[in-house]
């Protein structure tokens, strides 16, 4: 496939290929007359052009499936979203571009919160201080990248839940299994914008299943298509109208769903 891209760039363009920030390839130097022959040529390798305009843009995902920090299969999710929303909604005109980003963990490598719809893998820990054996050298304290775990005056490990980012590093770290997995799934951020004007996406204070993520994206796109103004980014739209129905951040404790779809 890569040889085909190189051959296409040399045959129809000026031989130069650039990588875009959304992990697509830009073949430079094509003339208007070469566009159709170029499309026919790359189609033989299963490739096609696109990726711009007021529509769902190419899906971006980190390498969460091979990264030691990854909590979800980002590449498989990206493929499914690509088929459903990039290809499935390709001919649907939106008020503006709509970007979807998938991060495998809270390390935020691809900055999902700066996409119109951001997805982040989560692994929520469960811990009861009564189960702590009071080890002088606590493996949970050592492994927590946020420094949220500490030993109190009695030598019992405590966790600051207010700043826990659900990276899951503490899960299975304790030699006595004091910290376990309470739930796992997907965190959602909506309305992120990056460019001349920036807006950090609104965090929806729940943990979702994959099925719910697909439902939320469809709900967001339908609302944006019907009620958004031409030229208005999704983040500007929800800043005025609020997140789509069913995506509002709750006032109390979050409703959490596990990977298998059951409510925790």
Q: At which of 165, 181, 197 does a domain end?
A: 181
Do 119 and 57 share a domain, yes or no? yes
Do 9 and 45 share a domain, yes or no? yes
Do 138 and 11 share a domain, yes or no? no
Do 117 and 213 share a domain, yes or no? yes
**Parent domain of 22:** 1-49
What tens digit of pLDDT does each residue of 32-43 get? 999 999 999 999
Q: Which CATH number does the domain housing residue 99 bear?
A: 3.30.413.10
Q: Domain count of the chain?
A: 3
Do 188 and 96 share a domain, yes or no? yes
pLDDT for res 261? 37
pLDDT for res 241? 78
Strand partners, 25: 19
Q: Is 64 exposed, middle or buried, given 0-12, 13-18 or 19+ CB atoms closer than 10 A?
A: buried
Closest CA to 203 of 223, 219, 187: 187
Q: 3-class DSSP state for residue 204? A: strand
Do 25 and 152 share a domain, yes or no? no
Do 90 and 152 share a domain, yes or no? no
Length of the chain: 264
Q: At which of 11, 26, 49 does a domain end?
A: 49
pLDDT for res 247? 61
What tens digit of pLDDT does each residue of 143-181 get? 999 999 999 999 999 999 999 999 999 999 999 999 999
Do 116 and 202 share a domain, yes or no? yes
Do 113 and 231 share a domain, yes or no? yes
Do 22 and 117 share a domain, yes or no? no
Task: Assess contact for 105 and 167: CB atoms under 8 A.
Answer: yes
Do 139 and 15 share a domain, yes or no? no
Do 195 and 263 share a domain, yes or no? yes
Q: Which CATH number does the domain housing residue 144 bear?
A: 3.30.70.20
Task: Assess contact for 18 and 25: CB atoms under 8 A.
Answer: yes
pLDDT in single tens digits along all 264 residues of the chain? 778 889 999 999 999 999 888 888 999 999 999 999 999 999 999 898 988 999 999 999 999 889 999 999 999 999 999 999 999 999 999 999 999 999 999 999 999 999 999 999 999 999 999 999 999 999 999 999 999 999 999 999 999 999 999 999 999 999 999 999 999 999 999 999 998 889 999 999 899 999 999 999 999 999 999 999 999 999 999 888 777 665 654 333 333 333 333 443
Tokens matching residue 5: 């891209």
């Amino acid at each position: 496939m890569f040889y085909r891209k190189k051959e296409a760039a040399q045959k129809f363009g000026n031989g130069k290929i650039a990588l875009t920030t959304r992990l697509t390839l830009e073949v430079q130097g094509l003339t208007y007359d070469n566009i159709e022959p170029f499309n026919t040529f790359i189609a033989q390798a299963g490739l096609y052009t696109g990726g711009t305009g007021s529509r769902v843009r190419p899906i971006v995902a980190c390498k969460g499936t091979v990264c030691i920090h990854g909590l979800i299969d980002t590449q498989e999710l990206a493929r499914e979203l690509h088929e459903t929303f990039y290809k499935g909604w390709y001919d649907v005109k939106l008020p503006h571009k709509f970007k979807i980003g998938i991060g495998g963990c809270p390390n935020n490598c691809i900055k999902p919160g700066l996409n119109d719809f951001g997805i982040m893998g989560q692994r929520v820990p469960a811990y009861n201080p009564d189960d702590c054996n009071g080890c002088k050298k606590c493996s949970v304290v050592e492994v927590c990248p946020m420094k949220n775990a500490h030993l109190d005056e009695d030598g019992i490990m405590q966790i600051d839940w207010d700043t826990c980012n659900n990276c899951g590093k503490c899960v299975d770290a304790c030699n006595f299994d004091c910290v376990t997995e309470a739930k796992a799934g997907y965190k959602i951020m909506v309305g992120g914008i990056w460019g001349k004007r920036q807006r950090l996406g609104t965090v929806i204070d729940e943990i979702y299943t994959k099925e719910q993520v697909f439902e939320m994206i469809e709900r967001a796109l339908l609302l944006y298509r019907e009620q958004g103004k031409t030229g208005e980014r999704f983040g500007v739209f929800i800043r005025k109208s609020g997140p789509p129905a069913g995506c509002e951040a709750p006032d109390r404790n979050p409703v959490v769903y596990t990977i298998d779809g059951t409510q925790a």
